[in-house]
Structure 1
Amino acid sequence: MQPLALSSPLELLDELKRKVRALHRLQFQVLEIVGTLDQQGAAATLGYKDLVEVFKHALHWDPKVSRRKLTQAKALCTTVTPSGATVEPMLPFAAAAMAAGELSEDHVDVLAEAMAGLPAAVEANLVDYAQQHEPRSAKAFCKELAYRLDQDGPEPRDFEPAAPRNVVRRQWKAGRYHLFADVDAETGAKLDALIDPLAKPEPADLRHAPERDGDAFCELIDLALRADQHRISGGERVQLTVTLDYDKLRTAIGTARLDNGEHIPMNQVRKIACDAGVVPMLLGSRSQVHDVGRKTRTINVGLRRVLVARDRGCTFPGCTRPPSHCEAHHLRHWSNGGSTDLANLALLCRRHHDLVHQSDWQIQMDGGVPVFRPPAFIDPHRRPRQNQIHAVA
């Protein structure tokens, strides 16, 4: 083909269509490999819990991408039974169309969702339509076809109340903590009973109701931290750990770091330091943490605090789990003579703790920091990696 700049719009469009069809064919080949790995139980062979984790490390796919491809592979790929018999794919017409480069992954998602509630006989019609239209239009066509096939709707049945779900969404954004809650009526009534007395307007109170409720909610958090009965988190009662540099504390300049990685100004540190349930973790002028471990398998409260101050969360490369979600891992196992001290410990979330024990991932200390070497199938040179997320938190 001649240089793109010298091509006409029609020539460019024809070339683009050829490239896109080739891309769809290649995507189908990727799904075939994904499906075969799934059928072979490759994750367990490699020491992983599932293929989502394998793809995260080997291909750098997000879990959402991996789950999507695994679902598509189940729908489009031929399978082989333990006896050696071949089983046709759930969506044979869609599989053939994508293999020929005529369907995209987005089309496959639409067709798989629609066919879950439609008879197999209509798949050919749906695929034929999808080959000629964009996924959004194909979705509307599938919906209309489903309505025409079942205009009466499903058979009526006795009402079954749905089990109540309690949902809380939490997010740090621009130095603020955003909180959304959708809870059952009983919990809501309890929260109202706690907030209402604290949110009553005072004389000459200029705050609006949402602001009074917000201040009352913050007061409830302080009350909970000061309460005698606390849940246990990571081997000690729930509390807030504030890590600050000695020089910054002395000069009252700069910020301190909370145990979730967020930073707060020094004047705010001095305020919360007056409350119970707040543990100040003071670092030396070079940010060293002092080893307070002892020669037992059990990790005591003091040792865990300095471990949290050093690691700041799960140390596995790329993991964002905070310290409260982590366990302390012995780099050299206790049963093999490993000691319980800072130089032989690393924080790992449960998922990565299991992975390290079951796979070929290796951990070693380098300059007082846990460093990981991946299995050879991820990196043939097994070059060391660190969790850079917590390192710059």
Structure 2
Amino acid sequence: MLKELALADDAVVACVDAPAWPLPERELIAALDAAHRLQQRLAAVTLTLIREIDGRGTARSQGASSTAVWLRERLRLTVPAARRLIDLATALDAGNPGIRQALADGTISLDQARVIADTVDTVQATAGPEAADKAVSLLTDWAGQFDPSLLRKLGNRILDHVAPDLADAAAEAALEAEAARAARDRHLTLSEQTDGRLRLTGILDAETAGLLRAAIDPLTTPSGPDDQRSPGQRRHDALTDVCRLSLRTSELPEHGNDPAQIVVITAYDALTAKLGAGTLDTGLSLTPQAARRLACDAGILPAVLGGAGQILDVGRQRRLITGPLRRALVLRDRGCAFPGCDRPPRWCDAHHIEHWADGGLTSLANAVLLCGHHHRHIHHSDWSVRLGSDGHPEFTPPAWLDPEQVPRRNHYHRRT
């Protein structure tokens, strides 16, 4: 397979370098069709490989918490996109050879294959394998005329064509399947921008969407005739108010044995002089005005890393890494320090590099933040962790994974 893929790669490279402008219009369109068909065929190969990797447990053997996270690190995909590929690869492997063949033939696209697989699963559960086979044949034919959105709408009434006697009874099953897909695809992504802002993207299921609207809609009303904020700005400010209100309750779960909190790092002298900018424990920057506004409703705790202020090294007097020591650890590691992991500090445990039971100190120099999965993995695998010359964690993989055992670091939490 590797040899054939290398030959295909060479052919594609030759096409990339070939100019398109000399082609007559007919050949130009034919070349587009051929390139699209090749893209779908390669997608079928990719799904086969992903299914095999997922089935073997390759991701976990290499330290990743899931195949989706491993694909993100390996192929630079988003986790939701990786999950969709895994789900489709699993569906095609579980008894949908007709869909896989249509994809391999280049007659349907990857998005159409996903729609057909979702629809056929519902038909299979409702009307049995014979009706499912008819649905595959019909939907792959329709795929030549309709894009994925229209194909999904047609698929919602597919039983009218393949099993009319069950169509009405299956309408409820179709709604339940749609709700299950919504639950599967739900996600929220927080992407840090270079200027310190945060981009929110995601898909909410119907229930969560209703809750969000119920929470923010009353707060989006213009404050008066002079309110010049756009609707988007009012929704932004409403979300701010909801978050402030939630942090004032006592019902949020603890993290790191501390109550739920927002942590702002700034110089005390600069804060009192109204000049100091601040930094959240997530790495986002705040203006001096925002830092002072948050300080009005906050407890101020000194935290001096490597200095003579707050005591960060508590030695053998205590085993748990909590309070000011954990805050210092969050400031340093920013999240799970294992290479390729993007879990935030609130999801992490503090791990003793030299185990406390073996005489290790409870100190910043002997601690690292790890999410639950990687905390277990570091205890039960041949990976090792140490602090580098700059005081930041680095992980050495086992020899079977990297014979040269080159130390690796996590780059997801870097600030630049």
TM-score normalised over the length of structure 1: 0.70
Tell me: CA distance 1:359–1:168, structure 2 relative to 1, closer, same or farther (3 Å). Answer: closer
More helix by share: 2
Tell me: CA distance 1:369–1:114, structure 2 relative to 1, closer, same or farther (3 Å). Answer: same
The amino acid across from 2:301 in the alignment is P
**Does structure 1 retain, via aligned residues, the 8 Å contact 2:80–2:187?**
no
Task: Report 1:114-133 matches (<5 A).
Answer: 114-118=119-123, 119-122=131-134, 123-131=136-144, 133=146
**Does structure 1 retain, via aligned residues, the 8 Å contact 2:62–2:401?**
no
Aligned length: 356
Are residue 139 (structure 1) and residue 162 (structure 2) matched? no
Distance in 2 between the 1:273 and 1:250 partners?
10
Distance in 2 between the 1:52 and 1:288 partners?
43
Corresponding position of 1:341: 363
Deviation, structure 1 residue 91: 1.4
- Residues 288-337 of structure 1, C-alpha deviations (whole Å, 9 max, x = no match): 98633312432242311221222233333454443222211122333444
The amino acid across from 1:26 in the alignment is L
**Does structure 1 retain, via aligned residues, the 8 Å contact 2:256–2:322?**
no
Corresponding position of 1:101: 106
The amino acid across from 2:99 in the alignment is A
Tell me: CA distance 1:72–1:320, structure 2 relative to 1, closer, same or farther (3 Å). Answer: closer
Distance in 1 between the 2:171 and 2:78 partners?
41
Deviation, structure 1 residue 342: 0.8
Q: 2:90 aligns with which of 74, 99, 104?
A: 74
Deviation, structure 1 residue 72: 1.7
Corresponding position of 1:297: 319
The amino acid across from 1:154 in the alignment is A
Task: Report 1:363-374 matches (<5 A).
Answer: 363-366=385-388, 367-373=390-396
C-alpha RMSD of matched pairs (Å): 4.7
Deviation, structure 1 residue 96: 1.7
Moved more, 30-39 or 139-148: 139-148
**Does structure 2 retain, via aligned residues, the 8 Å contact 1:259–1:308?**
yes
The amino acid across from 1:111 in the alignment is I
Tell me: CA distance 1:16–1:150, structure 2 relative to 1, closer, same or farther (3 Å). Answer: same
Gaps of 5+ in 2: 1-14, 124-130, 173-178, 201-207, 228-233
Q: 1:310 aligns with which of 319, 325, 332?
A: 332
Tell me: CA distance 1:221–1:111, structure 2 relative to 1, closer, same or farther (3 Å). Answer: closer
Distance in 2 between the 1:21 and 1:268 partners?
53
Tell me: CA distance 1:115–1:244, structure 2 relative to 1, closer, same or farther (3 Å). Answer: same
Distance in 2 between the 1:63 and 1:90 partners?
25
**Does structure 1 retain, via aligned residues, the 8 Å contact 2:302–2:309?**
no
Deviation, structure 1 residue 382: 5.2
The amino acid across from 2:152 in the alignment is K
Tell me: CA distance 1:383–1:287, structure 2 relative to 1, closer, same or farther (3 Å). Answer: farther
Deviation, structure 1 residue 220: 5.2
Deviation, structure 1 residue 49: 4.3
**Does structure 2 retain, via aligned residues, the 8 Å contact 1:281–1:306?**
no
Deviation, structure 1 residue 107: 1.5
Distance in 1 between the 2:120 and 2:241 partners?
51
Task: Report 1:265-276 matches (<5 A).
Answer: 265-275=287-297
Could you say what secondary structure the match of 1:31 adopts? helix
Corresponding position of 1:86: none
Could you say what secondary structure the match of 1:236 adopts? coil
Corresponding position of 1:391: 414
Corresponding position of 1:85: none
The amino acid across from 1:4 in the alignment is A
More strand by share: 1
Corresponding position of 1:255: 277
Distance in 1 between the 2:240 and 2:107 partners?
58
Distance in 2 between the 1:271 and 1:289 partners?
24
TM-score normalised over the length of structure 2: 0.67
Larger Rg over CA atoms: 1
Corresponding position of 2:117: 112
Deviation, structure 1 residue 47: 4.9
Task: Give the structure, 1 or 2, with the largest relative contact order (CA under 8 Å, sep 6 or more).
Answer: 1
| Fraction of identical pairs, as percent | 29
Corresponding position of 2:203: none
Distance in 1 between the 2:187 and 2:67 partners?
29
Are residue 20 (structure 1) and residue 33 (structure 2) matched? no
Corresponding position of 2:6: none
